Amino acid sequence: MSQMTVSEAVLSRRSIRAFKPDPVPLDVLRRVMDKARWAPSGCNFQPWEATIVTGAPLAELQAKMLVTPLQDPIEYSWSQPEVIPECKARLHAVGAAMYQAMGVGRGDGDARADFVRNNVTSFGAPAVLMCYFDRRMGPPQWSDTGMWLQTIMLLLREEGLDSCPQEFLAMHARLIKDFIGVSDETHIFFCGIAIGYRNEENPVNGFERAREPVDGNVRFLGF
């Protein structure tokens, strides 16, 4: 079997919201993480840190989150762009497509609430990467961490694996940090990355997503 190209990895990556229960081999994860450490890093600070959880510890952590109210105050806010009309429209469009694929109507509050709760169990993923970093890191280091996480997700595709980045898990940031032994005083929790094999039969993994055309947000000067 030929190796996946970068283009194939980019175009086949999507946020998977229904996983098979098949376990993810430790040697595969180690191989991915060993390659991902070469992601770009301003000043070579390498701000990223993570704990990958699976098996009984993951089940225990998720059970705790399911019975614990969402954190208040929140760890950080990711929702400010909703005040920008085009960003809010994109959010609504992808949400509508996702719920339509699952056959969940706009007025079906119970079904929507159940799906939101699936974030806590990372949509059945057998492994979850918990990403955090030192609170002294600023916006450039948040960007570096994002490039590291994208590198991880593309390398997972090369290995035949799938993922879903989960900022939602920051709603349980202090609980997660306490569980994995990370200081809330010194570290901020960024996100989880659900890792596993996609359930091809679940329609939530196949709905069409819209992206802006290149000319919508990129300009070329001097060509």
The model's pLDDT over 85-104, given as tens digits with 9 standing for 90+, comes to 999 999 888 988 888 888 88
- List 76's β-bridge partners, or say none: none
152 domain residue, yes or no: yes
The CATH number of the domain where 40 resides is what?
A: 3.40.109.10
83 domain residue, yes or no: no
Range of the domain at 24: 6-78+121-205
210 domain residue, yes or no: no
CA distance 8 to 184: 38
The answer, as to whether pTM is greater than 0.75, is yes
Q: Encode pLDDT of 11-48 as tens digits.
A: 999 999 999 999 999 999 999 999 999 999 999 999 99
Q: Encode pLDDT of 175-214 as tens digits.
A: 999 999 999 999 999 999 999 999 999 999 999 999 999 9
Residue 2 binned pLDDT confidence (cut-offs 50, 70, 90): low
CA distance 207 to 199: 13
109 domain residue, yes or no: no
Residue-averaged pLDDT of the chain:
94
Number of domains present in the structure of the chain: 1
Cα dist from 91 to 22, 64, 182, whole Å: 31, 29, 32
